[in-house]
């Protein structure tokens, strides 16, 4: 087997080894099936079972109530930037509230503006998007169609520790980069969506958890493929779903349930991993600087800079030489970023923390 490195990519990101190994086995032929997972019909009994299992695993991990559908879409998280307002905003006379804590939330609002009326309920621009709002800072419209948040801003590494209270207005969360990383009270969400390629599987599938009354509310005159109602009625098999990606979601969620032992345990591990890095940065006394303020720091994406920007490229090169790859920050903001999703082993984070300490000693 080719050697594997520690991949700190923001997504597509590392997958659990056991899931990759099972996929490797099934790539030639699924047991007792004689065909590859890449060749099997999306309407076969075997695949229906795999998809049902993926859904049930997600339901079990997040304790998804009966009131909520679990659906699988193509088109990435960015299709949901459009679908949410298309279904839930465009046909009514309400506006939608957007909470802006980084680039993805801003993009989501831009897409919504083409569909209907939007309002900014909070904008962290003056703080350079380094924090989430307090409950008191939110200027919520009690008549809004929904409130949209980005639970974890992947680029800035800014995460809501808990979801805001939006009263009777449905809360919609883009949870792409912290999905399945911790237990959540799903009953408080009208809808949550997440592209899979960070915490749940490979690129190609987006998971949407949506409450029944929002499905019912979705506009009537939409193209079938863009309608929550049609996708819910067809149990995500209106057309050919991304079979392989959904199969991988099943394997990753099997791993979360059976090897990790659920989201309480996953969260404890994620806390421990993030703490290691933030502690290493704080201990470095100004050599490294974290972007996010305490209280808003992401457990998934640790975005930081080297105080001496000229050392950034040597830092990235030296890290890569040690098998610590993809630590470059997003092209829009520069700097460095360590994405430490569920499947990043603690050993990888320990190795990075040690490397950061060694690098500082050499160059500080």
Site residues, ligand PMP (CB under 6 A): 10-11, 76-78, 104, 150, 154, 174, 176-177, 195
When the beta carbons of 76 and 262 are compared against ligand PMP, the nearer one is 76
Rounded to whole angstroms, the Cα distance separating 201 from 250 reads 8
Maximum alpha-carbon separation in the chain: 63
**DSSP string computed for 152-214:** EETTTTEE-SSPPP-TTSPEEEE-TTTTTSS---GGG-SEEEEESTTTTSSTT-EEEEEEHHH
> Least separation, in Å, of the C-beta of 283 and ligand PMP?
28
When the beta carbons of 115 and 176 are compared against ligand PMP, the nearer one is 176
In the residue annotation, 104 being an active-site residue is answered as yes
When the beta carbons of 101 and 218 are compared against ligand PMP, the nearer one is 101
Nearest Cα residue to 110 out of 98, 121, 122, 92: 98
207 pairs with which residues across the strands? Answer: 72, 194
When the beta carbons of 118 and 176 are compared against ligand PMP, the nearer one is 176
Rounded to whole angstroms, the Cα distance separating 300 from 219 reads 35
Rounded to whole angstroms, the Cα distance separating 113 from 108 reads 9
Given a contact cutoff of 8 angstroms between Cβ atoms, the answer to whether 84 and 114 are in contact is: no
When the beta carbons of 229 and 330 are compared against ligand PMP, the nearer one is 330
Determine which one of 26, 198, 250, 255 is catalytic.
198
> Least separation, in Å, of the C-beta of 202 and ligand PMP?
11
> Least separation, in Å, of the C-beta of 188 and ligand PMP?
19
Determine which one of 104, 250, 255, 273 is catalytic.
104
In the residue annotation, 198 being an active-site residue is answered as yes
Q: Which residue has the tokens 């909520």?
A: 68
Rounded to whole angstroms, the Cα distance separating 42 from 329 reads 38
Length of the chain: 364
At 276, list the tokens: 């290691």
When the beta carbons of 270 and 356 are compared against ligand PMP, the nearer one is 270
> Least separation, in Å, of the C-beta of 154 and ligand PMP?
3
The H-assigned helical ranges of the chain are 17-26, 45-62, 76-88, 103-113, 212-217, 228-233, 243-255, 263-283, 312-321, 346-363
> Least separation, in Å, of the C-beta of 78 and ligand PMP?
3
Determine which one of 174, 255, 273, 328 is catalytic.
174
In the residue annotation, 45 being an active-site residue is answered as no
> Least separation, in Å, of the C-beta of 152 and ligand PMP?
6
Q: Cα 64 to the chain's mean position, in Å?
A: 17
Shortest-Cβ-distance residue relative to ligand PMP? 76
Q: Which positions are annotated as active-site residues?
A: 104, 174, 198
């Amino acid at each position: 087997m080719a050697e594997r490195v520690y991949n700190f990519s923001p997504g597509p990101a590392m997958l659990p080894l056991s899931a990759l190994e099972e996929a490797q086995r099934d790539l030639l032929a699924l047991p007792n099936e004689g065909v590859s997972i890449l060749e099997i019909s999306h309407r076969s009994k075997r695949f229906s079972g795999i998809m049902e299992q993926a859904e049930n695993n997600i339901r079990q991990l997040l304790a998804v109530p009966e009131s909520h559908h679990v659906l699988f879409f193509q088109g990435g998280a960015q299709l949901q930037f459009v679908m949410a307002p298309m279904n839930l905003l465009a046909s009514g006379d309400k506006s939608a509230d957007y909470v802006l804590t980084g680039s993805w939330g801003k993009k989501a609002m831009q897409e919504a503006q083409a569909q209907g009326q939007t309002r900014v309920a909070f904008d962290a621009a003056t703080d350079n998007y380094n924090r989430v709002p307090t409950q008191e800072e939110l200027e919520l419209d009690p008549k809004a169609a929904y409130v949209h948040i980005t639970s974890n801003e992947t680029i800035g590494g800014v995460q809501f520790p808990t979801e805001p209270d939006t009263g009777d207005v449905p809360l919609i969360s883009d949870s792409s980069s912290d999905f399945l990383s911790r237990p959540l009270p799903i009953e408080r969400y009208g809808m949550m969506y997440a592209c899979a390629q960070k915490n749940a599987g490979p690129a190609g599938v987006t998971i949407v958890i949506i409450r029944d009354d929002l499905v019912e509310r979705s506009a009537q005159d939409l193209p079938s493929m863009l309608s929550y109602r049609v996708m819910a009625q067809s149990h995500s098999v209106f057309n050919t779903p991304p079979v392989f990606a959904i199969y991988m979601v099943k394997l990753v969620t099997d791993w979360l349930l059976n090897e990790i032992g659920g989201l309480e345990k996953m969260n404890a591990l994620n806390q421990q991993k993030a703490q290691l890095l933030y502690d290493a940065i704080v201990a470095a006394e100004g050599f490294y600087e974290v972007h996010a303020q305490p209280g808003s720091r992401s457990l998934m994406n640790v975005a930081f800079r080297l105080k001496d920007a000229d050392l950034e490229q040597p830092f990235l090169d030296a890290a890569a030489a040690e098998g610590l790859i993809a630590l470059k920050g997003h092209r829009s903001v520069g700097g460095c970023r360590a994405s430490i999703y569920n499947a990043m082993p603690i050993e990888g984070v320990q190795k990075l923390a040690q490397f950061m300490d060694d690098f500082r000693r050499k160059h500080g």
